[in-house]
Amino acid sequence: MTGQTRKPFAKRLLPLLFSLLVFALLLAVPEILVRIFCDVNVQSTDSGLLEPGAFGETFGLKKNHAGECFGQTVRTDADGFRDLSGSAQADKYWLLLGDSVAFGVGVKAEDTFAGKLQKALPEIKIVNAAVISYSLPSYRDVLREFAKKEKMPERIILFYCLNDIYGYPAILPPPEGAVASSFEFLKSHSRLYMFTKHLFADRQKAFFENDRALYVETGEQYRAALPILDEIVSLSRSIAPLTVVLLPYEYQVRLPSEENFTPQNLLAAHLKKLGVNVIDARDYFRETGKDSKSYYLTADAMHFSPAGHEAVFRLLGKLSASPSQTPLDGR
């Protein structure tokens, strides 16, 4: 058009840069507020922590390594287990099996129930073999390796979470594509994203209902899991006395109906037929009378907060240091 002059490029760019700055500040302020006032964890794990093939087909943790997991720095010991600062000179040790719940994602090692147990029993080395994404096949693989050791544990405690019914875990490759990569970045770095994601939906209920649906006596996945569970029990008999602790999801503690506890009821009945000592942690959590969500990480379906780890530790406190004695039922 005649009679009009175009603004220099720099002048046209300034409004855009200013808008981007304002937009960034609008995101930064709530992100900072969430980090200050809300106990929200990002959900990512440093892939450098993981060691493929540590236990047959199952990955483990790298020895003497440190990395980020759910927003916390975790360290491993010389044997490739989460460092609990236990005495390497202890004559006896207990073996803990579990997944990310027993590993204690998002919580400092000393605040996990494994760390608290180690502090309470300095004469016993607590070997926490729990690793994120583990499931029943993983526990079997770990036990197969311990069965070869010259020195056996005094006790084996398996902390069973409902998602243990899934098959072999895998070290997943980085997501492909701009959209998938963006969501993975947000999940790994933005607490605001994690807070907002769960703000408008009951994700705890959704996770529970998805996993509860797998616990049907005639269901294919449940029937496939039982032989693996049986093998774990059989392996333990050649190693040390086994106790299985059934851990509840947040939604189960919130609404403790018999229907919601169908998975634990099925598992407990099966394990007791095999002569396994079973502790159902539901009673302990239910009898405290506290808000169910206080026991779990914010908007998390299964991972315990420091308060939840304290509750499990108090339950474990009823376990005798003598493996020949039968632990109480958690009440």
Confidence of residue 331 (pLDDT cuts 50, 70, 90): very low
Compute the chain's Rg from CA coordinates.
23
235 lies in some domain: yes
> What CA–CA distance (Å, rounded) separates 60 from 41?
23
244 lies in some domain: yes
70 lies in some domain: no
24 lies in some domain: no
Confidence of residue 323 (pLDDT cuts 50, 70, 90): very low
pLDDT in tens, 97-109: 999 999 999 999 9
> What CA–CA distance (Å, rounded) separates 255 from 212?
14
DSSP characters over 64-79: T-EEEETTEEEEB-TT
- Mean pLDDT, the chain, rounded, equals 83
- List the CATH number of the domain containing 208: 3.40.50.1110
Examine the pLDDT at 140 and tell me if it is beyond 90.
Answer: yes
Confidence of residue 41 (pLDDT cuts 50, 70, 90): low
Q: Which domain holds residue 209?
A: 90-172+194-316
21 lies in some domain: no
Confidence of residue 70 (pLDDT cuts 50, 70, 90): confident
98 lies in some domain: yes
251 lies in some domain: yes
User: For the chain, what percent of residues have pLDDT higher than 70?
Assistant: 72
Number of domains in the chain: 1
What is the pLDDT, as a whole number, of residue 313? 93
pLDDT in tens, 173-190: 555 555 445 545 555 555
64 lies in some domain: no
Taking each helix axis from N to C terminus, what angle separates 9-37 and 191-199, rounded to the nearest 10 degrees?
Answer: 70
Helices (H), 159-261: 178-189, 191-199, 203-212, 220-237, 250-254
Examine the pLDDT at 199 and tell me if it is beyond 70.
Answer: no
What is the pLDDT, as a whole number, of residue 196? 67
Identify the weakest region by mean pLDDT among 197-201, 252-256, 289-293: 197-201
